[in-house]
Amino acid sequence: MVLKWSKKPPFLPLVSLIFMVFIAATIFFIEFKVHHFHQLQDHPHLHNSIDLSSVNLDRFTTCSSTVKYHGRKVDWHERNRLTTVSSDEECDVFSGKWVFDNTSHPLYSESSCPYMSDQLACHKHGRTNLNYQYWRWQPNDCDLKRWNVTEMWEKLRGKKLMFVGDSLNRGQWISLVCLLSTVIPAEKRSMSPNAHLTIFRAEEYNASIEFLWAPLLVDSNSDDPVNHRLGDRIISPDSAFRHLSKWKDADILVFNTYLWWRQGPVKLLWKSEENGVCEELDGQGAMELAVKTWAKWVDSNVNPINKRVFFVTMSPTHQWSREWNPESEGNCYGENNPITQTSYWGSGSDLPTMTMVKEVLAKLGSKVTVLNITQLSEYRKDGHPSIYRKFWETLSPEQLSKPESYSDCIHWCLPGVPDVWNELLFHFL
């Protein structure tokens, strides 16, 4: 006997099944919307969350063509807040003078730090005048919190502190590692190899002090920590995914960016651009887009109760000695004393850029603390490596005959000025 299935399936059971699925889906959708509503109520920053998609940029990235900037802005719903935290309630620690102090300074010796960079080790590379090590920053109307290495480690216990930025921020990171590492036994500390992210760990405190190479804050073709000397600077102005995926879990973040925006026009490759067409914009305009993308992430993700964010203002250069000595035609080479004129500003500090950054940071209120190192560093024309550092490129006989032609008037000798930047960090922590 052959069994034959009915050609007319039972109608009512099928309708019932469809109805039940519909009811279940409706209940699930309503519960999801209610849950999402409460999530937004509990976490209002989700209204303005950052898009985590990115553009795959590397040092081989090129633009298929370049057009003028069309005025597109970063999608960030800026909200005015209370004033940005930038100084003590009682005293502006960023206004003051440098005092020669060979009793309490330097806070460590160049030779005692096993992690010293050859780019910053000025005594090792021939500098004999060591006065640059003995200057202490003295605010006008109060005292800076006295450095205490044990107290700093206690502040960092169980935490991840990460510096994010360019080689000047790396110098501040090395300074802090030097300030802190000497009290940690060699067998209880470690340093990962130099890379995009470099990590110093202290086992005793379950803490790490890290440096993330991100000179333009947003994703760019210059994110290789070694091979980043490129003809064209290309950024994704609305994406920092490559970097924020590493910095988002840090407990304390110290950001900087500035000098890389002063090297000519910047090419913009937006996330939505599928044909490799770049827009071209001047450095300050491109920097504003990048800083706003960074600020959008801070605004969306930072609760100052459990995550501290610091922004270090621009580090000045001293390329033209005629700015502090009108009779000269050199740079920082041969300088051994600070500038004493308290109102001094050189061309190494771009005031319009400073104003732009200040306006963006002001919208973040207490979510960010500003370390305003610019003017106090302006006085220190004597603090740069000049010719007293390792140069990886071969210097020509003509350069060697004119030391000013290859003097490094951008970075800072250690021990030196960046130690004060870290004293300020300690003061606000």
Beta bridge partners of 201: 190, 208
Strands (E), 340-388: 369-371
Active-site option among 167, 239, 321, 349: 167
Residue 370 structure tokens? 């500003």
Beta bridge partners of 136: 99
How far is residue 237's CA from residue 295's CA, in Å, rounded to a whole number?
12
Rounded Cα gap, residues 240 and 237, in angstroms: 8
408 is an active site residue: yes
Amino acid occupying residue 209? I
Contact 414, 170 (CB under 8 A): no
In angstroms, rounded to a whole number, what is the distance separating the alpha carbons of residues 308 and 205?
Answer: 19
47 is catalytic: no
Torsion of CA 129, 101, 340, 330, to 10 degrees: 10
Contact between residue 195 and residue 164 where contact means Cβ atoms under 8 Å apart: no
Instruction: State the catalytic residue, choosing from 219, 223, 299, 408.
Output: 408
Mention every residue, 6+ apart, whose C-beta is less than 8 A from residue 230: 59, 221, 222
385 and 102 Cβ atoms separated by less than 8 Å: no
> Do residues 270 and 290 lie in contact, with contact meaning Cβ atoms separated by under 8 Å?
no
Residue of 117, 238, 411, 419 with catalytic role? 411
38 is annotated as an active-site residue: no
> Phi first, then psi: what are they for 270, rounded to 5°?
-70, 155
- Mention every residue, 6+ apart, whose C-beta is less than 8 A from residue 336: 129, 131, 132, 382
Query: And the tokens for 145?
Result: 């919190």
425: part of which helix (H) or strand (E)?
helix 417-428
Query: From residue 234, how far is each of 25, 204, 245, 259 by CA, in Å?
Result: 47, 42, 20, 15
Backbone region of residue 146 per phi and psi (left: phi > 0; alpha: psi in -120 to 50; beta: other values): beta
Catalytic residues: 167, 408, 411
